[in-house]
Structure 1
C-alpha cells in the first residue's frame, strides 16, 4: 500500500523553540502554499483516504484537502516541560541525557521515542489492516503529520521488513538526520 506522507506547513513559532505536541497554528500563507502544491502535483489522487494528526498545523491543511480522519497516534512527540521553551533555555545536562539515551529518555518528562514509535506502529498496523487488502480497498492513503512521525513511518517500514525489534527501529528513526521540509511529501510503499 502506498502511503503519501505530507509534513505540515510551517507553524507560527519563533525559531529555536521546542514544539512537539504543542498545538500551534500553521502560517496561513504556508497553508496556502502547501495546499496549492499538493493540488498542482496531484500527489493525492481523488478518493484517497486521508488521515491527519489532530494538531491544528496538520488538521487545517487536511480540512482544506477534503474529508479526513483525525488520529492522535499521528501527533508529534510530547516534550513535556520542554514544550515552547527555547532550546537554549533547556539545561545542557538534560539535552545531553537525551542524546545519550535517544530511545528511552523522556525529554521534559514527556514521551520517549519508543512510546511514540509504539503508537505510530499501531496506527500503521491498523491502517494496513483496514486498507491494505485486495480490491476494493484503496491502494493508497494520505497522511498529514509531522517530521518525527514521518521519520518513524519510514524507519518502521525498513525495520519491520528486516525483522528488527521496535526499540532498534525507534533508535534508527531518532538517529536519522532531520531533512523533511515543511509541506514536503514523502512516498512510502508499506507492506503488511
Structure 2
C-alpha cells in the first residue's frame, strides 16, 4: 500500500504574510502546478482521497480526483496561527514572536496552537486511516501536516522537520514495507 501526500499549490497571498488556517484561494500558477502533479499520479488508481477542508487543498483534490468522493477532515488543516493570521510577519509584536520562537514546537501562537498540537492531530488522523494492502491513498494537505507525518515516520524531532524541502505542489510517496518500516520517496519537491 502507498500513501501519497500532496501539498497544495501556491496560494493567493502576498509574500511575507503569516497564514495557516485562513481559507486562501489558489494563485494563477496553480493550474500549471496542478498539471505537474497530475502527470506524476496519472497512472495510479486511488482507493480513497482525503483533504484538508481549506479551499487551497479541496480545490486541488477535486481537480486531481474528479471521480472520487473527497473526504475532508479538520485534522488535516494547517497550523492555526491565531492572532497572527494574515498579518505581515514583520508586524507581529516582537515580544510575542520572541516568546514563540524560544520553543515554537511547544509554545502557542496567541489565540492559536502549537506545532506539537498540529503534530498530534495529524498523527492521530493519518495513523487512523484504514488502508488495505495493494491500494493507493491520497492526502491533499499543507506543509505543516506533511512535516508532522514525516517527523513521526522518521522519528525526527519536530524542530528538525524544517530541514526537509517541501515546496508547493510537492508529492511524497510513502510505502509501507513491514511492521513500522516505511519507504519515503519525494516524487516532486
TM-score normalized by the length of structure 1: 0.83
Candidates 79, 86, 89, aligned match of 1:84: 86
1:33 pairs with 2:37: no
Task: Judging by fraction of residues, say which structure has more strand.
Answer: 2
Shift in Å, 1:83:
0.2
Shift in Å, 1:36:
1.2
1:68-83 aligned at under 5 Å gives the runs: 68-83=70-85
Alpha-carbon displacement from aligned partner over 1:96-147 (angstroms, at most 9, x marks no partner): 21121222211122011111111001112111xx11x446xx2x21111111
Shift in Å, 1:50:
1.2
Do the aligned partners of residues 55 and 32 (structure 1) sit closer, same or farther apart at CA in structure 2, a change above 3 Å counting?
A: same
Shift in Å, 1:184:
1.4
- Considering only aligned residues, what root-mean-square deviation do their CA atoms show, in Å? 2.0
The gaps in structure 1 that reach 5 residues or longer are 160-167
Do the aligned partners of residues 43 and 149 (structure 1) sit closer, same or farther apart at CA in structure 2, a change above 3 Å counting?
A: farther
Counterpart-to-counterpart distance in 2, 1:71 and 1:4 = 16
The structure 1 segments of at least 4 consecutive aligned residues displaced by more than 6 Å after TM superposition are none
Counterpart-to-counterpart distance in 2, 1:43 and 1:146 = 21
TM-score normalized by the length of structure 2: 0.84
Candidates 120, 124, 127, aligned match of 2:126: 124
User: 1:154–1:188: 8 Å Cα contact kept in structure 2?
Assistant: no
Q: Which residue of 2 aligns with 1:181?
A: 167
Counterpart-to-counterpart distance in 2, 1:188 and 1:108 = 34
